[in-house]
Structure 1
Amino acid sequence: MNQTAVIGAGVMGETLLSGLVRAGRRVDTLLVGEKRPERAAELEERYGVSVVDNVEAATKADTLALVVKPQDMADVLAEIAPALRAGQLVVSLAAGITTSFIESRVPEGVAVVRVMPNTPALVDEGMSAISAGTHCDDVHLTEAEALMASVGKVVRVPEKQQDAVTAISGSGPAYVFFMVESMIEAGVHLGLPRTTAHELVVQTLVGSAAMLKETGEHPTVLREQVTSPAGTTAAALRELEVHKVRAAFLAALEAARDRSVALGSS
């Protein structure tokens, strides 16, 4: 019976754990690595899983999901490496950490998959991109896909694209929230009550996202359907172009990509 361990019981770690439980994983096949007694007790009561220390999790599990901060990855690997063995699968959810970084710190033959998730996983609408390491085969990738599919959609990408993925979907929710925040503030400036502006903007976002997903139309087509000649939308879009919003997005995503590269190299 395949045992899966989640090491790192923060927000994303618990999100993955709860997604696996909702997806039908038996709790007796799930382990959680957590050192804090009060947090361990909370997770055991909430999900009925076994909470152990990281070394025990690494010893017992066939698949380990490392849901830790990039700056903590080296210490966690140093702790669990003596307990790892060839044939195990390590799935890393740490931004910027390469498969080669992990492979150089674990025994030969341990399969490594790199994942870039995002926070909509909290509502089972996550977007995860996965990449295979040196010793990873299709069986390992399929298992990693199954893990992340419990909290949203999954795509496979070459690892060289992971920094771009981080910039687009990993950090992407923050850009959307920033836009929503800005539109709500604009609504208040234009005289709407804040609660009304909030409801208008959020539902407009939800509806627009649904149109993109369900129609399959290119966003340019959908934008043009809203934009009447010399109308209100055209006037607004002209201002966005004057203020170089497209260029700002490109610069912002390049900065996020570069930061992901820096995290990996450090």
Structure 2
Amino acid sequence: MSFHNDSSSIASQRICFYGAGSMAEAIARGILSQELVPSKQISMINRSNKERQQELHLLYGVQTAMQGKTNEQYLQEADIIFLAMKPKDAVSALRELKPLLRPSQLIISVIAGLSIVGIQKLLGSDMAIVRTMPNTSSTIGLGVTGISYSDSVTEQQRFMTEMMFDSTGIYVVIEESMQDAITSITGSGPAYIYYMMEIMMKGAQKAGFTSEQAEQLVTQTVLGAATMVQQTKEQPAALRRKVSSPNGTTQAAIETMSAHGLEGALLAGIERCAERAAEIGRSIEEDI
């Protein structure tokens, strides 16, 4: 193992995940798979689900309330605290968290819709706060995360944040005003692709393939298409033109989809997603 344990390095940090759902697990798994921090320095806490605590300890060697310290102790000792609770529990949980904190701690939120100002109101304006929007593909190390920083975050804290999110896929540092937009592209984006895959699988079954064949054919087609864009560095439009011979089958399909409004439907969906993210954000702010 390659931990460089001087006080300025990430390897010396104690990390506490407040919330132990799939996103917290994905980030912890990334940190551990890249050997950024030893497992004994990572704690994961939830309200009372003992089976989940036991499962996480056995899978990753992380500390939970079953290993002898209280949730409060883990939170007080941590250098970095991930806020990974459900949005509906966030406001009350953060109010309870405030008295346990000290100004040197780094707070990283993965709570959709909760603004930096909102977190500062709940925890104190001097805290270093990072707002992030990871997507579900982070659970297999192919995620995309949008990261926004409060003014109090130090260079070293930025560096550590980016190392951690690099371990779950790729990240992009954005102005906080772009968080709703990134939600509409990468946050919800995997579901748009799944929806298209569902429809393509229906088409395959309609054409006579079994459901197993349909799934295999469509999954490999989508994987191949994304990988082609990634590896050839060509624009999707250019790759599409290469597949579309004049008056050929692909051109016929694309023209028909276009005539049925595919582009308009997708763009309208993306726009509505960003609007909805803003609405959810406003309703959380009202609770504060």
Q: Name the TM tier (shorter chain).
A: over 0.9
Q: How does 1:33-182 map to 2 (within 5 A)?
A: 33-36=45-48, 37-52=50-65, 53-182=70-199
CA drift at 1:55: 2.6
Kept after mapping to 2: 8 A contact 1:184/1:197: yes
Q: Is the 8 A contact 1:90 1:113 kept in 2?
A: yes
The Cα RMSD (Å) is: 1.3
**Residue number in structure 2 paired with 1:192:** 209
- Does the 8 A contact of 1:121 with 1:151 survive in 2? yes
What is the match of residue 28 of structure 1? 40
Q: 2:219 aligns with which of 202, 205, 208?
A: 202
Structure 2, unpaired ranges of 5+: 1-11, 284-288
Q: Distance in 1 between matches of 2:74 and 2:115?
A: 22
Measure, in 1, the Cα distance between the counterparts of 2:32 and 2:113.
Answer: 28
Residue 239 of structure 1: how far off its partner (Å): 1.0
Task: Select the residue among 239, 250, 264 that pairs with 1:233.
Answer: 250
The runs of at least 4 aligned residues of structure 1 exceeding 4 Å deviation read none
- Where does 1:3-14 land on structure 2 (aligned, <5 Å)? 3-14=14-25
- Please state how far the C-alpha of 1:76 moved relative to its aligned partner: 1.6
**Aligned residue pair count:** 266
- Counterpart CA distance in 1 for 2:17 and 2:58 is 16
The answer to whether the 8 A contact 1:86-1:108 is kept is no
| Equivalent position to 1:253, from 240, 256, 270 | 270
Identity of aligned residues (%): 34
Q: Which whole-Å CA distance do the structure 1 matches of 2:273 and 2:85 have between them? A: 19
**In 2, Cα distance between equivalents of 1:255 and 1:69:** 22
Report the alpha carbon displacement of residue 54 of structure 1 after superposing the two structures with TM: 4.0
* Unpaired runs of at least 5, structure 1: none
Q: Secondary structure at the match of 1:104?
A: helix
| Aligned-partner Cα distance in 1 for 2:181–2:238 | 25
Distance 1:42 1:75 in 2: 26
Deviations 1:72-108 (A, max 9, x none): 2111211211111112111001111111110111134
SS in 2 for 1:115: strand
Letter in 2 for 1:229: P
TM-score of the superposed pair, with normalisation by structure 1:
0.96
